[in-house]
């Protein structure tokens, strides 16, 4: 069992290295392995190709790695917290909160004549999305302090999501063509819109979120048996819940803010990890989800570049079959 | 081992148990009986620290429950709930190992001693052969035994069980209660379990705690039978309790 896990972890790591290399090679201009290596290590390389590799592809691949790890770990946390196999980072309203922030920024501001406001433009789409998702999660977290039943919080998250969608639709309906296009493009998701200065912020937030998720590995194992069991085995449930919500904001909130709503990775990848590793222990599942998430998003990025599709459509087409298979195969998972 | 002092339980404006002062001894198997909705689960949850009290105090192994930290409480009381635990890919040994949580480090690392306790706990409930099986492919009786092994791995002087026999067939009910009796007497645990199986409780338990709202009567089984409390509580329009045969019959 232990050896099987070690081999699987090794295989996943090798796969990440291979996909990372392929991701650097493919795109509108094909670049060979040797040239990629030269550019990254500062060797002899065509300066234009070197610029493409370092400024565009390397950035995008790093974002894909961070986003893949962040989304799948937050998905695993949500599934354990809500004891629901169909929970993902978006059920809590991360996506809807981010959408609201962006909608208010792109669609709402011009409606009230604020399009040229320097405060708003410096805030940026990413900032608006971050504030939006953090606000919704803060609301859900506040409510969860007072409500003991986790299912109520789940339903609440869904209701907030629906309410926000309605508001976003009103904004869309009232908006001009140009602003509408900007918003729709954001909803399709992109791994390539992160600037160098933003990358540090994204990396810092996601790594902090991952560290918190490692700290709640044991609490999450206890929560597998349900809240009553977890508490009688010495778990501080409020603290655990707060930590998981904080971690999710940092992971899924940040990813959504900078890459748009990248769907289905958070929901599907933890199941993929369960299937591959045949394990429910978070000491195995957490790194397994993280690595599988990185692989899937690198893969999605490669496919989206080869077919020139928005990354969100690729993650959906990859994720949905996994989710359907999980639901059909096993009716009492998690 | 468990002592109640002027304990009042209930929810909202409804009082379920009023001003209870009594104690449950170490090494005894006690059945908690009473009609539906009279506060059996509420009492068990109060002892585990999961539920709130209206008034009074509960002492566990001599210490007031409020003075115990979550970790200390988890080393004093183990609880087996009515929740069905069926987690895919989770082996029995892993479930039982979770019972070591109050003793392991931040990531739950198991020492050799912890592993031995897990195997010993599984042996006590007769489930050693199931260590590597997953619970989604086991019967209700087998799962219940694993959850009891998990409680044993917690190494607490007190074990509480909420209707442990509810989903079991007749032979399994007797076997489970015989196991509980054995654990109470051999392992010197105080075991309190709620049940609707009056005949099993009278046959196997040392004491009976009977809730007759808003009172709780705790007596050794023999005295409980002769006290008349059972007849008063369980005799309805169509059934009758006979103290000499200790059985319920239809009028």
- pLDDT tens sequence across A14-64: 999 999 999 999 988 888 888 888 888 887 888 888 888 888 899 999 999
When pLDDT is cut at 50, 70 and 90, the band that residue A117 belongs to is low
Which CATH code for domain B2-76+157-250? 3.40.50.300
pLDDT at A111 over 80: no
Give the chain A residue nearest B156 (alpha carbons): A233
Q: What is the pLDDT of residue B6?
A: 95
Range scoring the smallest mean pLDDT among A82-91, A325-334, B125-134, B154-163: A325-334
CA A1 and chain centroid, separation = 30
Q: Does A237 touch chain B (CB under 8 A)?
A: no
The three-point CA angle A57-A62-A67 to 5° equals 125
Contacts of B99 in chain A (CB under 8 A): 233
When pLDDT is cut at 50, 70 and 90, the band that residue A148 belongs to is low
pLDDT at A130 over 70: yes
When pLDDT is cut at 50, 70 and 90, the band that residue A116 belongs to is low
Taking CB atoms and an 8 Å limit, are A280 and B89 in contact across chains? Answer: yes
Which is nearest to A191 in space by CA: A123, A132, A126? A126
A73 is written with which tokens? 């770990």
- pLDDT tens sequence across A227-262: 899 999 999 988 998 899 889 888 998 898 888 888
Range scoring the smallest mean pLDDT among A147-161, B182-196, B198-212: A147-161
Q: Which of A5-9, A26-30, B169-173 is predicted most confidently?
A: A5-9
pLDDT at A169 over 60: yes
3 state SS of A54: helix
The three-point CA angle A315-A319-A321 to 5° equals 135
CB A212 within 8 Å of CB A247: yes
pLDDT at A13 over 60: yes
pLDDT at A159 over 90: no
Average pLDDT over residues B8-20: 89
Range scoring the smallest mean pLDDT among A103-117, A133-147, A176-190, B18-32: A103-117
pLDDT at A113 over 90: no
Q: What is the pLDDT of residue A334?
A: 43
Total residues belonging to chain B = 251
Q: What is the pLDDT of residue B151?
A: 97
CB A152 within 8 Å of CB A249: no
Give the chain B residue nearest A274 (alpha carbons): B89
Taking CB atoms and an 8 Å limit, are A229 and B78 in contact across chains? Answer: no
Q: Does B86 touch chain A (CB under 8 A)?
A: yes
Q: What are phi and psi of B11, to 5 degrees?
A: -140, 145
When pLDDT is cut at 50, 70 and 90, the band that residue A188 belongs to is confident
CA distance A108 to A100: 10
CA distance B163 to B193: 7
**Identity of the residue in B85, B89, B98 whose CB atom sits nearest the CB atom of A274:** B89
Mutation for A interface: B72, B79, B108, most A CBs within 10 A:
B108
**Identity of the residue in A228, A235, A332 whose CB atom sits nearest the CB atom of B86:** A332
**Identity of the residue in B50, B70, B108 whose CB atom sits nearest the CB atom of A236:** B70
Where exactly are the structural domains of chain B? 2-76+157-250, 84-155
When pLDDT is cut at 50, 70 and 90, the band that residue A280 belongs to is very high
Calculate the alpha carbon distances from B97 to A155, B147, B228, B234 in Å.
33, 11, 44, 40
pLDDT at A333 over 50: no
B158 contact partners, CB below 8 Å, separation of at least 6: B1, B2, B47, B60, B61, B76, B77, B78, B189, B190, B191, B192
Q: Which of A31-35, A90-94, A192-196, B53-57 is predicted most confidently?
A: B53-57
CA distance A201 to A102: 19
Q: Does A274 touch chain B (CB under 8 A)?
A: yes
Where exactly are the structural domains of chain A? 2-329
How near does any CA of chain A get to the CA of B146, in Å?
12
Taking CB atoms and an 8 Å limit, are B154 and A334 in contact across chains? Answer: no
The CATH superfamily assigned to A2-329 is ABC transporter involved in vitamin B12 uptake, BtuC (1.10.3470.10)
When pLDDT is cut at 50, 70 and 90, the band that residue A122 belongs to is low
């Amino acid at each position: 069992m232990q050896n099987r896990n070690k081999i699987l972890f090794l295989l996943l790591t090798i796969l990440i290295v291979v996909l990372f290399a392929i991701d650097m090679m493919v795109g509108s201009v094909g670049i060979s392995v040797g040239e990629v290596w030269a550019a990254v290590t500062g060797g002899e390389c065509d300066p234009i190709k070197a610029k493409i590799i370092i400024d565009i592809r390397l950035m995008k691949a790093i974002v894909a790695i961070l986003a893949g790890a962040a989304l799948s770990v937050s998905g695993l946390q949500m599934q354990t917290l809500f004891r629901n196999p169909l929970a993902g980072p978006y059920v809590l309203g991360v996506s809807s909160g981010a959408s609201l922030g962006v909608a208010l920024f792109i669609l709402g501001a011009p409606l009230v004549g604020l399009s040229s406001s320097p405060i708003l433009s410096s805030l940026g789409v990413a900032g608006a999305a971050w504030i939006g998702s953090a606000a919704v999660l803060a609301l859900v977290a506040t409510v969860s302090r007072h409500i003991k039943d986790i299912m109520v919080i789940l339903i609440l998250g869904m209701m907030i999501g629906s309410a926000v969608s309605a508001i976003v639709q009103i904004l869309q309906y009232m908006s001009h063509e140009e602003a509408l296009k900007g918003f729709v493009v954001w909803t399709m998701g992109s791994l390539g819109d992160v600037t160098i200065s933003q990358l540090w912020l994204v990396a810092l937030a996601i790594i902090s979120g991952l560290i918190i998720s490692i700290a709640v590995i044991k609490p999450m194992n206890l929560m597998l048996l349900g809240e009553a069991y977890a508490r009688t085995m010495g778990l501080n449930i409020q603290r655990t819940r707060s930590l998981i919500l904080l971690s999710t904001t940092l992971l899924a909130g940040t990813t959504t803010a900078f890459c748009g709503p990248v769907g289905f990775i958070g929901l599907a990848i933890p199941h993929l990890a369960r299937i591959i590793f045949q394990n429910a222990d978070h000491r195995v599942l957490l790194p397994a989800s993280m690595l599988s998430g990185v692989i899937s998003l690198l893969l999605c990025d490669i496919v989206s570049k080869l077919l020139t599709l928005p990354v969100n459509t690729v993650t959906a087409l990859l994720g949905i079959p996994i989710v359907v298979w999980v639901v059909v195969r096993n009716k009492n998972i998690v | 081992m468990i002592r109640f002092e002027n304990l009042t339980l209930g929810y909202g404006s409804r009082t379920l148990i009023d001003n209870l002062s009594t104690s449950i001894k170490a090494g005894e198997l006690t059945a908690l009986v009473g009609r539906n909705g009279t506060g059996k689960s509420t009492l068990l949850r109060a002892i585990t620290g999961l539920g709130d009290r209206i008034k009074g105090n509960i002492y566990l192994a001599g210490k007031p429950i409020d003075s115990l930290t979550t970790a200390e409480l988890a080393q004093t009381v183990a609880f087996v709930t009515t929740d069905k635990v069926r987690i895919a890919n989770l082996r029995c040994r892993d479930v039982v190992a979770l019972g070591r949580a109050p003793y392991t480090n931040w990531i739950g690392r198991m020492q050799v001693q912890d592993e031995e306790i897990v195997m010993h706990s599984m042996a006590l409930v007769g489930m050693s052969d199931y260590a590597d099986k997953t619970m989604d492919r086991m019967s209700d009786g087998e799962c219940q035994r694993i959850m009891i092994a998990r409680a044993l791995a917690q190494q607490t002087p007190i074990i509480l069980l909420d209707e442990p026999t509810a989903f079991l067939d007749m032979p399994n009910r007797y076997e489970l209660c015989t196991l509980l009796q054995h654990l109470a007497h051999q392992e010197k645990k105080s075991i309190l379990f709620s049940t609707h199986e009056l005949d099993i409780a009278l046959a196997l338990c040392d004491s009976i705690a009977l809730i007759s709202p808003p009172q709780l009567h705790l007596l050794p089984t023999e005295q409980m039978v002769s006290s008349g409390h059972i007849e008063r509580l369980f005799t309805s329009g169509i059934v009758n309790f006979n103290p000499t045969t200790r059985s319920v019959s239809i009028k």
